[in-house]
């Protein structure tokens, strides 16, 4: 969960009054992360309201058997309390625009025209994957002067239009998914300084197509890309 929070796959949201608490939920309370590990059978407590006994684990290793209503009150009372969202790409494609969202965006896939021996040998499976809200053509116009583009011209091999997306979260999701296939290469910029470019991966285009379809469908977190040699996505 901590890795997913740091990478942007999970986010934090303000806890709202009387918000639902479910087994498996994560919260931040009093500066600590809180995990709802178990929930007992529902019973009727004072004033005729339903309640449950919880097994709650804190990130300092302690546990408690707090009542659900007590946890809700504590979260409501703490002005800094937060709900940690599920690791789902659903918010990338929500019907409502949130802070950081764009109305329109594009995932783009580029192929390098570099003469670097490694790139020439594997040109068909070396791709840069990114997300932009602007013009891809303008972005790559000076590619041969930019180490981000391997100091060489590039060609656009695929684009995928999206609506109501959070660009940073989406890029983190894609790059984390293809981390096992990240291109390990060092090039020199125009001043002779060594640069290790990011966002380049040894991934066939058909695998990128498949991953984008899974992101659109929602369940990409249930899959992983494990072997850049065989080029397979497994569940």
Kindly report, residue by residue over 3-34, the tens digit of the pLDDT. Answer: 777 766 677 888 876 678 989 999 999 989 99
Q: What does the pLDDT average to over 202-218?
A: 82
The sheet with strand 126-132 has its strands ordered as 154-166, 101-112, 126-132, 200-202
In the prediction, which pLDDT does 221 show? Answer: 65
Helix (H, G, I), strand (E, B) or coil at 136: helix
pLDDT over threshold 90, residue 89: no
Report the distance separating Cα 101 and Cα 103, nearest Å: 7
Domain end marker among 55, 87, 119: 87
In a domain, 2, yes or no: no
Look at 26-40, 91-105, 112-126, 166-180 and tell me which has the smallest mean pLDDT.
Answer: 91-105
Question: Could you give the C-alpha distances from 183 to 63, 81, 118, 156, 180, in angstroms and in order?
Answer: 43, 40, 10, 18, 9
Q: Flag whether pLDDT at 128 surpasses 60.
A: yes
Report the share of the chain in percent with pLDDT over 90: 33
In a domain, 4, yes or no: no
Mean pLDDT computed over every residue of the chain = 82
Q: What is the mean pLDDT of residues 223-228?
A: 70
Residues 81 and 120 placed together within one structural domain of the fold = no
Same domain? For 165 and 55 the reply is: no
- Verify that 60 and 104 share a domain, yes or no: no
> Is 227 found in the same domain as 192?
yes
Identify whether residues 81 and 125 lie together within a single domain.
Answer: no
Please give the pLDDT value at position 97. Answer: 47
pTM, to two decimals = 0.58
Q: Domain check: are 82 and 104 in the same one?
A: no
Helix (H) or strand (E) holding 230: none
**Domain ranges, residue 188:** 97-234
Residues 134, 74 within the same domain: no
Query: The CATH number of the domain where 54 resides is what?
Result: 2.30.30
**DSSP summary character for residue 175:** H
Residue 199 inside a domain? The answer is yes
Helix (H) or strand (E) holding 176: helix 167-177
Q: How many percent of the chain have pLDDT more than 70?
A: 83
Three-state DSSP state, 227: strand
Asked if residue 228 and residue 117 are part of one domain, the reply reads: yes
Q: What is the pLDDT of residues 136-182, one digit of tens each?
A: 998 899 999 998 899 999 999 998 877 666 777 788 888 888 888 89
Q: How far apart are CA 32 and CA 162, in angstroms?
A: 36
- Split into its structural domains, the chain has a count of 2
Q: What backbone phi and psi angles, to 5 degrees, belong to 172?
A: -60, -40
pLDDT at residue 228, as a whole number = 52
């Amino acid at each position: 969960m901590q890795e997913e929070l740091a990478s942007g796959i999970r986010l934090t949201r303000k806890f709202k009054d009387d918000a639902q608490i479910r087994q498996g939920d994560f919260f931040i309370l009093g500066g600590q992360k809180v995990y709802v590990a178990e929930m007992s059978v529902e019973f009727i407590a004072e004033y005729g309201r339903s309640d449950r006994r919880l097994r709650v684990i804190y990130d300092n290793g302690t546990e408690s058997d707090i009542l659900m209503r007590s946890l809700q009150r504590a979260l409501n009372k703490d002005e800094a309390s937060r709900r940690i969202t599920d690791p789902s790409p659903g918010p990338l494609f929500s019907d409502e625009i949130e802070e950081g969202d764009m109305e329109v965006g594009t995932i783009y896939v580029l192929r390098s025209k570099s003469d670097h021996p490694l790139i020439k040998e594997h040109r068909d499976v070396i791709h840069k994957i990114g997300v932009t809200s602007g013009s891809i053509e303008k972005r790559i116009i000076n590619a041969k002067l930019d180490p981000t583009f391997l100091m060489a011209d590039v060609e656009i091999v695929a684009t995928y239009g999206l609506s109501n997306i959070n660009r940073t979260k989406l890029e983190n999701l894609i790059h984390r998914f293809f981390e096992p296939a990240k291109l390990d290469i060092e090039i020199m910029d125009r001043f002779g300084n060594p640069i290790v470019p990011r966002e380049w991966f040894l991934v066939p285009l058909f695998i990128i197509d498949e991953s984008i379809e899974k992101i659109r469908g929602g369940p990409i977190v249930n899959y992983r890309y494990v072997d850049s040699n065989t080029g397979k996505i497994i569940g």
